[in-house]
Structure formats: C-alpha cells, structure tokens
A and B are shown apart, each in its own frame.
Chain A
C-alpha cells in the first residue's frame, strides 16, 4: 500500500493504470481468491483518484486497491459469505469499515473468498470452491480469510480486509507469508460485518508489511454509533516507526511450544524471538496454562453464538428460499438445509445442542466460566511482559488433498490463535521464516487490550531487521 502510494506520487503509474493492470491480472489468475470482482466501479473510483491526486490530495489510501472479504457488506456489490443461502444477496449499505475506506479514496477492487460464513480454516468450505495458496497451488491458503490472504500474497491488491473470530486473519496470513492483525475486540466497528460469533468477531487488516497493516488499521478503527460494542474514547497513537525494543519484555509461554508443533515452525519462531532479543528485548518465560482448554471453550461459545446469529437465514426476507415448502416451518427448515453446507450445519447443530435444555450448564455456562480463567491467565502474564510471542499455527499450509475428514483435528489446529480471541486481545501474525518445503511460517505477537501501537511497532521493528516479508511467492 505504501509502495503503491509512493509510485503514484513519483508519477510511475496512476490509479487508473494500476487498477486496469490489476483487473487484467485478476482475470487470468487461478488462485480463486475473488468471489466478485468490482471492475466497473473500481475504474470509476480510480478515475476519481487520478483527479484527486492531481489536485494534491496526500492521502496514502487514495487510489490504493483494497480487497474485501465477502462477509463484509458492500453497497450495490453482492455479499455472499461464500454461501448458497446468500448467493443472490446485494446489500443496500456499506459496512462502516468499507465506508471509511471509500471516504479515504481507496479503491474496492473486489470481494474475496472465505469458508462459508467464516467458519473454517482452509477456505475449502466455500460455495465457489477452495482458494489456492500462492506459494504452492496444491496447498490451502488457510482460512477463513484465505481469499484475502491469497490476493495480498499474489499481488492482486495492495491490502485487504479479513475478519477474525478464532484466527481467521492470523492463520491465513501465516500460511500465505503476509502480515495480518486481529484488533482488540471493540476497536473496529462490526456494523456490516455479517455476524458469526458476536462476542469474538473483529474485522482485521491484512497487508505485505506491518506498516501497511498499520495504515489500514488506522483507517478502519474508531467508535461507530452503529455498533454499540465499538469503544469510545482515545485510541493508541500509531506511527510508522519501529518500536525501540530495548526494555520491552517479550513473554514466551511454554504452552505455545507443546506437542503437535512442527519442528520447522518451532525453529523459525525461536529464531524470531532471538531477533527480538538482539533488538534489545528482554525475553521472559510466562505461564498460559489454560491454553489447552482454548479449543473446547472456543467451539462451544462460537458455535452457540453462531446458532443464534444464523437463525436469521429463514428464506423470508432475503437470501435463498426453498421452492419445495408448502408451510412455514418447512420453508425455514428446507431453505436452511439447501442453503448451508456441511460445516455450517455442523456448527449450528453443535451450538444448538450446547444451548439446549439440560446441556446449557454443562457446556455453554462452563465454557464461559473457563473463558474467565483464560482472561485472568493473560492478565497475570501481562504483569510480567509487554508482548507475548509464539507461533501463529502449529503447522504450515497443508495440501488441499490432505484435508482431514475429522472436523475435530482441523479445529485443534486453531490452538494458538484462539486464546487471544477469547480474551479480546489484539494479536498479529508476521512472516518469520520458511519450512523445508519453502512454505511461509508466521510469528504471532499478542499485546494487552488496545496496545496495537506496541504490537505494530514491534512488528515494524522486526521487519526492519528481517526480510521474510519481502520474499515473494
């Protein structure tokens, strides 16, 4: 993004020429990153940016092509959530984050692929089929924001928005070798983000570098009267300078290096921690003993909230309607059976079960109490450190043909991203190396609430000292 803005200012290209070239590249691209390409409107926005640029508009985002995950509403542009049930849905309004980008002159280049309703970590559970990893087309880009990650990594846009409920920005960022931020819960408006699990969902920026992500985060954050969970008050001051790491205490939880972590990932993350030590950081051990409970807690809470949120898809007011029903309840049930794929049904079933009479206490209530223990665990850890470092995912991108049949084994791969989600904390994945097959590895950094300044500053400092983020697929 900063690079694109610089090329405009140097006169090396213009928004129109840039967007025309990208649209051509997208037409012949085979990563299946986009569900909808916004060609016509993008060219109009580019033409406007050409004029504004000539008039001296200095905004970094002016004319910069941004891709939007297809669960974020865009006025007049289909928003499908990669679901049959919303395949014909066109919002009458922009999500607040999209409106913010448009107001800054950014160009909305298209809507990116995802796991249906953002439920998944592979972008295979999509109505248009899987996206492909730019580093190896036979591998998953991760998910659920896999289309956004693939689009950024293969240079089909300058930056992108994803959404992160349990790792859906960070894990695909890790698998595709880009930088992705899940902001503090409440720092970015959720208005117009199609709800999955409302106590966890956050829109997050994805880019080629921590600086790009910082610019994008600054453009989308802030209080929104339309989202009562978006916080009022002052936000941390962001700069594009790297943080001076001297005296910064980086906590390393032993639990982040447990069984199941691939050797290559462990090695790269340990090297990254050494880089931070060389930059002046103090590396301190911290405890996060509740980490092992995260997957169980998350899938109870997220599925419970999803079962409630997705009750709205009933074939009455918008979306797919089954043509086979003769009475109302049958209309609901058939529409939902025809409109949702297997993973979404599984989560609705699980969520309905854990909230149902007789099981609520044993599952939902229990999980929300253990969530308290996890929040406390982080509070305790942050008395001893300023940042927590560890892997984003236990593995690198795996083959689309190696997909495990057992949903639980896929869920367990979310182990490292889930804790920050449950605690509402800001967390980021940045490239920190490659495995022996040449696939990218992500370092995860977690900060206390609303300390994205520390998180992004540390990411910028790390990237100023390393070149992993500059390597192209």
Chain B
C-alpha cells in the first residue's frame, strides 16, 4: 500500500482540508486504488523526454503597461464574507 494514514493526514494538511475521522480510511482506500492504476506509467521509458505542460502557442503574450479601469474596491469586496474599512477581515494570525 502506497498511501498510509500518516500520508493522508500529511497531504490533507498541505491541502488545508480538515478531514473527518470517517474520511481517512476512505481516502486511504480510494487514493491507493487510483495510484495503483497510475503506476502503469512506470513501465514506459521516458528518459530524456521533454514534458508537455501546455499545448498552447509558445510565444509570450504581453500587453502595454498602461493603467486600465478594473473592478472598483466596492465590486471586489462585494462577495467578501467580512470586511471593514476597505480591508478583508480574518481571524487573528499572531497571538
């Protein structure tokens, strides 16, 4: 088995996901089953092969560095769960 309980807890921490206790055995089972399938790739020799990270054009796309009208502060804040004095409010970060 590739993925252990410790792995699931570690990855959930990296992904910022609080897991319920019932979710842990399910993730162990499902992720192992999916990764077993993915291991078929290890049979292929890919030594020295370029990776494909996109299939788009390879030219860089730049625009002129000019100020443009974008969203107003009110629009940007309109969907915020909590804001005050023009800033997003979050719980305390440092004690």
Contacts and interface: CB of A to CB of B under 8 A. Distances in A.
Interface of A: 88-90, 92-93, 185-186, 199, 225, 228-229, 231-232, 292-293, 295-297, 299-300, 307, 311, 314-321, 325-334, 336-337, 340, 345-346, 348-350, 352-353, 356, 362-363, 365-373, 375, 406-408, 411-412, 422-424, 449
B85 interface: no
Nearest to A305: B53
Contact of B79 (A232, A300, A319, A346): A319
Contacts of A412: 37
Contact of B91 (A228, A325, A370): A325
B17 A369 contact: no
Given A337-B18, A369-B50, A407 B79 contact: no
Given A337-B18, A367-B41, A408-B34, 6 more contacts: A317-B79, A318-B79, A318-B81, A349-B15, A356-B11, A375-B55
A66 B71 CA distance: 26
Contacts of A92: 71, 75-76, 78
B80 A318 contact: yes
Interface in B42-78: 42, 44, 46, 49-57, 61, 63, 71, 75-76, 78
Nearest to B33: A408
A8 B48 CA distance: 60
B57 A300 contact: no
Interface of B: 3, 7-8, 10-12, 14-20, 23, 27, 30-31, 33-35, 37-38, 40-42, 44, 46, 49-57, 61, 63, 71, 75-76, 78-82, 88, 90-93
| Overall SS of chain B's interface | loop
B4 to A, nearest CB: 12
A356 B15 CA distance: 10
Given A352-B11, A356-B14, A328 B55 contact: no
Contacts of B46: 366, 369-370, 372-373
Contact of A307 (B15, B34, B37): B15
B55 A346 contact: no
A440 B19 CA distance: 40
Contacts of A424: 54-56
Contacts of B12: 349
11 contacts: A199-B53, A299-B38, A300-B38, A316-B81, A319-B79, A328-B93, A345-B23, A349-B31, A353-B7, A369-B49, A372-B50
B51 A297 contact: no
B51 A369 contact: yes
Residue of A329, A330, A353, A366 ringed by the most chain B CB atoms within 10 A: A353
Contacts of A231: 56-57
B17 A349 contact: yes
B49 A350 contact: no
A423 B40 contact: no
Given A325-B91, A346-B30, A375-B52, A363 B38 contact: yes
